[in-house]
Chain A
Amino acid sequence: MAVLQMQRISICALKENRKQILELLQQEGVVELDMDMEEDEVFRKSDTISSRGIFEKNAATLDHALEILQTYVPEKKGMLSSLEGKTPVDYDSYSNIVEKQEAVMAQAHRLTSLAKEIAENKANILKRQNQIEALEPWKNLDVPMNFAGTKKATAFVGTISSVMTQEQIHEGIVQADPKLDAFDVNVISEDKDQTYVCILCGVKDAPALEEALRGIGFARPAQTGGMIPRERQERLEQKIAVLEQKNEELEKEIAGYENTREDLRLASDYYRTRASKYEVLGKLLQSKKTFVLNGYVPTRAAAGLEKKLNENFTLSVEISEVPEEDEAPILLQNNTFSASFEGVAASFGLPGKGEIDPTTIMSFFYFFFFGLMLSDAAYGLIVTVACFIVLKKFPNMELGMKKSIRMFMYCGISTLFWGIMFGGYFGDIVNVVTRLYFGNEVTVPALWFVPLNDPMKLLIWSMGFGLIHLFVGLGMKGYMLIRDKKYLDFFCDVVLWFVFLIGLLMLLIPSSLFASIAQMTIVFPPFLNLLAKVFAIGGAVGICLMSGRDNKNWGLRIALGAYDLYNTTGWLSDVLSYSRLLALGLATGVIASVVNQMGSMIGQGVIGTILFIIIFIFGHTLNLAINLLGAYVHTNRLQFVEFFGKFYEGGGHEFTPFTTNTKYVNIKEEIKL
């Protein structure tokens, strides 16, 4: 249970070594660099944007090449592939890629140009297909589109902008110019708004006919050509076939690059890492011969790093405590069990300045409450086994994901435990099956009691657990105050509240109100009753007097104290909030029973059994999913609102070390600090 101690590190070294030093730091991945330093006359920052740009562009090209590969030769991926994480790669094959980088880049460029060529060919194919389509209406024309006629005859090939039959065209022409009679109208085809025609006439009639045709909306086609349409279509089709053939070859060539995928990934990560190195390089303060850099390093890694730096370079490393006014980055350190719950605490906020890491304490309550809310042995077993399999199957999973899944695995164990305590196995599946198929109902007895039969009992217990949770929270606050040597605050804000609340509790327990809820009467000996009164009144008076102690004005001070006393209602609502432990636990059990009941209603027979199984699988999957979500959300809420509300604010920032910036592979193990 700890926030890892940080130290400040300052390195001053020769400029000629700067790249190697940064590489070492990057490889070690234990330093968070603090780059907000001002330039002055001696120390200046150098401009590395252009070289950084080249690396970023290379990385982008490689990513693009990988996308191309993925399009043409898709890699087979399972449903859970997102859990796989980065492939681990040893440092040798990574340095190998450095030597091969030009060849790999050439491959990437080739892939990009191949893809570009394919795209161009596809565009050409599309263009030709459009041309073929445009020629479709002219298919029956057996002269070229630009056919003007012979020596003696003139031809008009074109469209008329309305649908007309041969006779109508004939009539139209004669109406426009009654003198015309020697001409021949051929309708080639028609569609819904045009008629495609070829009209022949003697050379001398041509001007008059053209005039007449214009009157009925004749126009020459936009697309002409010296070929007979049908032949031209065939020619286009051949061209398309050639292009398609070519594309197939290109795709084959792309497929041939399938094995380079690993190299492309490595190289992409290599450039990305270099780009991030240059980014840091651009922020370094450099003089003519030297440079300086500052940062944070976890104390336990500091000595090793210092030694490594001194062994390899001529430089000065200074490691010092983090100054008071600085806010060190936060890295949590917990045992395997508690570390699984770090994600929950981090999603609320990492410990702020001077706060302790709440993860350890929280993890036990989280484990406890989660199981209590889900409380079904079979569900717990399913969750545990499923998480265990996933963890075994994907060892390279991203660390955060791994922790979450491990957390659910532990929560599954807790669910199993509570399920056995409350006798829930898929709700009441044992009862239903034995009743339906064997005639006599068998009940698996609950180790403790069945909540549905005695909800008041579980309600009292839930609130009791809640009270312990809240008291521990208040205790944590006390611990922090003592650690900071604020004894007066500890007494006024923690001890007095404890006294007051315990006094109230002791007054409540023997009362008739409690007896009616808990259905049992507890009688305290008289001295305890007296003690309760002393505690409650003493606590209340103490809080009233001391809460507003920062104020000199006594009237105001007491008024503030009285207002603070009003927080008792806050405690009441906090405790009531734990009734969700009961409500959600009941919900799981009751819905499971509904599913079983529905399944069993159909009857025994073969069909009945099959339907029962279908309803069982579907219903319980749904119930498990919904209640898993509910338990997760509400356990979080109990931690965040009720528990953290007592002592924890968060607001620290995460330790983000300068390290190899990769997307596909993991060059070394996750940092072990």
Chain B
Amino acid sequence: MILQNLGIVYALLGAALAVFLAGSGSAIGVGIAGRAAAGVVTEDPSKFAKVLIMQLLPGTQGIYGLLVGFITLSKVGLLGGGAAELDVQTGLLILSACLPIAVAGLISAIAQGKTAAASIGIVAKKPEQFGKAMLFPAMVETYAILALLISILAVSAIQV
């Protein structure tokens, strides 16, 4: 009896994973980049705006996680009150749909943070190469975007 009602729990677990794994990844990534950025600003405060943009780049995974989490919540009706009746299978489907952005978000945000820190090094030495420096972290983000895409498509394709 209890097992049969677990559907909604799985769905919520999916949303939670998407938000907290991708969010943690972004927090770590932004943290790594932030340390490098702070070092540059102590030497040259005029580069603040440029390094801040660099620091923010690994922050998007957290937002993608939030996005998937939100779509999931509204899908299962937890936002408007009156949760939908989910069977276990649908719940697990939703949980699986959330996994791509959760895992890829976590890992890519950390990797992107490290890349952003290296790019901040470029900005410190050659500020005119800002455009190119920005590109390296953006390359990492591609994979988070692909994961986000599959998560969104999967979540919206599941019939509740």
> Which residue numbers of A lie inside 8 Å of B, CB to CB?
344, 346-348, 452, 455-456, 459, 576-577, 579-580, 582-584, 586-587, 590-591, 593-594, 597, 626, 629-630, 633-634, 636-637, 640-641
Q: A348-B132, A634-B141 are in contact. List 17 more A-B contacts (CB 8 A).
A: A346-B131, A347-B132, A455-B156, A577-B142, A580-B145, A582-B149, A586-B67, A587-B63, A590-B71, A597-B79, A629-B53, A629-B56, A633-B57, A633-B141, A634-B138, A637-B138, A637-B142
Task: Judge if B134 is at the interface, Cβ distance under 8 Å.
Answer: yes
Report Cα–Cα, A580/B149, bound state, in Å: 8
Report Cα–Cα, A310/B22, bound state, in Å: 69
Report Cα–Cα, A459/B145, bound state, in Å: 13
Report yes or no: B145 in contact with A626, Cβ–Cβ below 8 A.
no
Residues on the B chain within 8 Å of A348, using CB = 131-132
Count of chain B residues near A, Cβ 8 A: 29
Which partner residue on chain A sits nearest B147 by CB separation?
A: A583
Report yes or no: B70 in contact with A590, Cβ–Cβ below 8 A.
yes
Report Cα–Cα, A586/B79, bound state, in Å: 19
Report yes or no: B66 in contact with A344, Cβ–Cβ below 8 A.
no
Q: With A579-B149, A583-B145 as known contacts, state yes or no: A591 contacts B135, CB within 8 Å.
A: no
Residues on the A chain within 8 Å of B56, using CB = 626, 629
Report yes or no: B66 in contact with A594, Cβ–Cβ below 8 A.
yes
Majority-rule SS of A interface residues:
helix
Within the complex, the shortest CB–CB distance from A663 to chain B, in Å, comes to 14
Leading 10 A-B pairs by shortest Cβ distance? A347-B131, A637-B138, A580-B145, A590-B67, A583-B145, A579-B149, A583-B148, A633-B138, A594-B70, A583-B149
Task: Judge if B60 is at the interface, Cβ distance under 8 Å.
Answer: yes
Residues on the B chain within 8 Å of A591, using CB = 63, 66-67
Report Cα–Cα, A609/B58, bound state, in Å: 34
Report yes or no: B60 in contact with A626, Cβ–Cβ below 8 A.
yes
Task: Judge if B158 is at the interface, Cβ distance under 8 Å.
Answer: no
B54-83 interface bits toward A, Cβ cutoff 8 Å, 1 = contact, 0 = none = 001101100110110011000000010000
Report yes or no: A637 in contact with B59, Cβ–Cβ below 8 A.
no
Report yes or no: A455 in contact with B153, Cβ–Cβ below 8 A.
yes
Report Cα–Cα, A459/B129, bound state, in Å: 33
Report yes or no: A641 in contact with B66, Cβ–Cβ below 8 A.
no
Q: With A583-B152, A591-B67, A637-B138 as known contacts, state yes or no: A347 contacts B130, CB within 8 Å.
A: yes
Residues on the A chain within 8 Å of B156, using CB = 452, 455
Report yes or no: B131 in contact with A344, Cβ–Cβ below 8 A.
yes
Q: Count of A-B contacts with CB under 8 A?
A: 73
Residue pairs across A and B with Cβ atoms less than 8 A apart, 11 shown, are A347-B132, A577-B142, A579-B146, A580-B142, A586-B152, A591-B63, A594-B70, A629-B57, A637-B142, A640-B135, A641-B135
Residues on the B chain within 8 Å of A634, using CB = 138, 141
Within the complex, the shortest CB–CB distance from A425 to chain B, in Å, comes to 19
Most buried by B among A456, A577, A579: A579
Report Cα–Cα, A216/B59, bound state, in Å: 69
Report yes or no: A636 in contact with B64, Cβ–Cβ below 8 A.
no
Report Cα–Cα, A190/B56, bound state, in Å: 58
Most buried by B among A629, A633, A637: A633
Task: Judge if B139 is at the interface, Cβ distance under 8 Å.
Answer: yes
Within the complex, the shortest CB–CB distance from B1 to chain A, in Å, comes to 33
Report Cα–Cα, A641/B141, bound state, in Å: 13
Report Cα–Cα, A342/B138, bound state, in Å: 21
Residues on the A chain within 8 Å of B139, using CB = 637, 641
Report Cα–Cα, A591/B60, bound state, in Å: 12
Give the residue of B59, B135, B152 whose beta carbon is less than 8 angstroms from that of A455: B152
Report Cα–Cα, A440/B157, bound state, in Å: 29
Report Cα–Cα, A503/B34, bound state, in Å: 48
Residues on the A chain within 8 Å of B132, using CB = 347-348
Residues on the A chain within 8 Å of B129, using CB = 347
Report Cα–Cα, A579/B146, bound state, in Å: 7
Residues on the A chain within 8 Å of B131, using CB = 344, 346-348, 636, 640
Within the complex, the shortest CB–CB distance from B131 to chain A, in Å, comes to 3
Give the residue of B59, B63, B70, B134 whose beta carbon is less than 8 angstroms from that of A636: B134
